[in-house]
Amino acid sequence: MSKTLVVVESPAKAKTIKKYLGSGFEVLASKGHVKDLPKKMGVDVERGFEETYEVIETKAKVLAELKAYSKKADRLLLATDPDREGEAIAWHIADELKRPKLEVQRVEFHEITKKGVDFGLSHPRDLDQNLYGAQRARRVLDRIVGYDVSALVWSKLAFGLSAGRVQSVALRLIVEREREIEAFVPDEYWNIGAVLRGKSRQPVTARLSRLDADKATVTSEAQASAIRTDLDSASYRVTQITRREQKRNAPAPYTTSKLQQDATSYLRFTTKRTMNIAQKLYEGVDLKKDGGPVGLITYMRTDSVRSSADSIEEARAHIEARFGQEHLPAKPNAFKSKKNAQDAHEAIRPTSLEFTPEVVQKHLTDEQFKLYKLIWDRFVASQMAPAVYDQTGVDIEAMPTTARPRHARYQLRASGKVLKFSGWLAQYGKDHAFDGAGNATLAGEDETNPAEEGSIPPPAPGDNGEGARPSALSLDEDGTLPELFDGETLTLVKPPGVVAEQKFTQPPPRFNEGSLVRELEKRGIGRPSTYADIISKVQARDYVEKLPGGQMKASELGKIVVDGLISTHLDFMDPDFTAKMEEGLDEVEAGKLERVQLLSRFYKRFREVLDGAKKGKRWAPEPEPTEFKCEQCGSVMLKRWSKNGFFLGCEKYPTCKFTSDLAADGSGMARPELTDIECDKCKRFMVKKTGRFGEFLACSGYPECKNSRPVPLGVPCPKCSGDLVEVRAKKRGGRTFYGCVNYPSCDFKLWQRPLPEPCPLCNSPFLLYGGTKKTPKIVCPRVKECGYSRGVDESPPEGEKKKPAPAKTERLDSALPAAGA
């Protein structure tokens, strides 16, 4: 009996596919790439950029298993992911398993369902030389740039730093945005409006729009005060009412970048986290139905907005059944992909509308459910009718009655938008429909063709993700207007009467992961399969500081690296050049350009510029004299730079090695705070210093004694009475926790930061910072037995009756990790 070996990338995917195949198939996983370039260069430029690939050390066992099974098979089907990386994995596996009588073919599974697997098996193809060539070219480009430019950065700045071909361009965008923010000078302006009432007696807020015949521009308090005086005594009359119907077309189903952007904005997921969750949904989730896991979404690396005819018909049937005929367009909505989109894959969508979010929720983690519902709602909404609004604008004339009016005529404007027909917004529910209509950008959508762009309904009015309060003048802007008539006289409602608000223009916002993906996509930098990796690498190299809320701020190190790379005039630092290189890789994939031709064209210029850059001066800022004197020898202290930031060092170095931290504002020496904690090595007192990762304790006898340790949190360990300290994970991206300073002899650990304050109810010796980001709380660690909690800004209750303290610290210990989760 013939036997077929099917090779996929992940064990989860293998398990899902195995259930759809008969006994004549064996399904194994490669667990990603099995071969790669070695740690050394591994590319022979002189011989046509020939690579030297090696079996990845950790994949030797996997490859041995694949070889053993392949010897029993007559046919090898390579079903790795349907993209460039998947094609490269397939080529490497084929090369390792080849033998004369083994038939080798490539298959693609765009969805891991019975239908998707059957379709892939019935449409096998040969390995694609062009697709593999594009991956090889990208890998070689990244190796050449990473290998040679990293060496340049080491020589110009500090050992251990690195640079990447696309990541460096992304970092440049972040640095340039930071420079825009630093150079930004705010301009003052004033919003002025009046609360008025007509015959209906319902108040309406109108904003000042024109001064005489000119657009209203108010830039000073004096000007605002004068206008307010005029308006306080003015008579008001409606001069014009305009009404029009406005449509907002359904958004296209998700591409990779749009999914990453919305997951960042609305779910607060990082791009990497989004892709990891989507990968699980694609590979298969065990629904306890039909004997195994089921793939819930189509392939998640795509820049196409196309959906299959079958899925569209299924969506239309679902829409008509759930929402009615009026929510169904006369013909299916069609969307246009961007210029360079690769249309081999569909947009990201549910594999079957049988698996509603409500049906599968109990089988998914919270994160999986949230992302699946995001994808589900977007796909269903994409085939629904437009939302329709009644848009009304009211122009109001104000005639001052003061003796000497500064302006003969003021014009105010009130506007309102009423959701007339929910259309596709109905998929997002009543809670979002009006808010989404009223606060999302409408941009004057074309009323005949569905828009290429679209977003799910945003947070409620006034919630900008940072807790900002809405303007008093904007509360009624997108709501329902009272009934008004042309020529109607209005009166001022006091209070509030005339309102004047001082405002200042704001700098451009820093990028978060979602907005950076949007910028990369707009500029043609990177591809769906690389966005998450680009952003992860930028943040992993200490070139970027991630702020609370997810914004990315360029560090001083990041700025110096970018400035240095730009000064070399290396082509890859130009965003336009990088975008053209992506187009070149696409041409290689399409068979329009030879791989070696692309690489040669890049390398000649790259080598010339790089060799010239090596002769230039170092990029590090030169030491600058300061007004401060060395506390050991009295010499001048210099402002010096290291890859950890600026510091003060004696000009007599290395004869005198005295150094000092620089004050936070850069103005002078930051004198360390002496503590009463003894150094456990030399018994001197320790001082509190600030480093790149925050505060720490260092021996006051430095540099003779270089001992350091974390700062105690003021809470004794419940197990051994040692100090609890903050412990940062050694692995990048690892989670910070709070443990005992006596580790490893004491393994006590907390995930929430302890607060040195006893519980007012049960006498627990400390409390925890818990709750969520939106609603942080202070909670008792004995969450089940006590349950005490309060807001972080609330004061502890006084005189409250206390319960007995827990008899054993073991009970306290076991409850701690769950508190505030």
Catalytic center residues: 299
Q: Which two tokens stand for residue 124?
A: 């096998």
**CA–CA separation, 639 and 596 (whole Å):** 48
Closest CA to 383 of 454, 441, 431, 442: 454
For 712-731, letters b (16+ CB in 10 Å) and e give: bbebbbbbeebbbbbbeeee
Closest CA to 672 of 641, 708, 725: 708
Q: What angle do CA 670, 671, 673 make, to 5 degrees?
A: 125
- The dihedral through the CA atoms of 707, 712, 718, 722 has a sign that is positive
Residue with tokens 């009211």: 394
- The dihedral through the CA atoms of 78, 137, 302, 63 has a sign that is positive
Q: Which two tokens stand for residue 232?
A: 């306080």
Is the bond into 654 cis (omega within 30 degrees of 0)? yes
Task: Centre a 10 Å sphere on the Cβ of residue 821 and count the other Cβ atoms it contains.
Answer: 11
- Residues 703/657, Cβ–Cβ less than 8 Å: yes
Q: Which two tokens stand for residue 421?
A: 């027909």
Provide the terminal-to-terminal Cα distance of the chain, rounded to the nearest Å.
Answer: 55
580 Cβ neighbours under 8 A, 6+ residues apart: none
- The dihedral through the CA atoms of 656, 657, 660, 661 has a sign that is positive
| E strand residue ranges, 655-784 | 659-662, 669-670, 673-678, 685-691, 694-699, 708-709, 712-716, 723-727, 737-740, 749-750, 754-755, 767-771, 776-779
62 Cβ neighbours under 8 A, 6+ residues apart: 29, 30, 31, 34
**CA–CA separation, 422 and 380 (whole Å):** 14
48 Cβ neighbours under 8 A, 6+ residues apart: 596
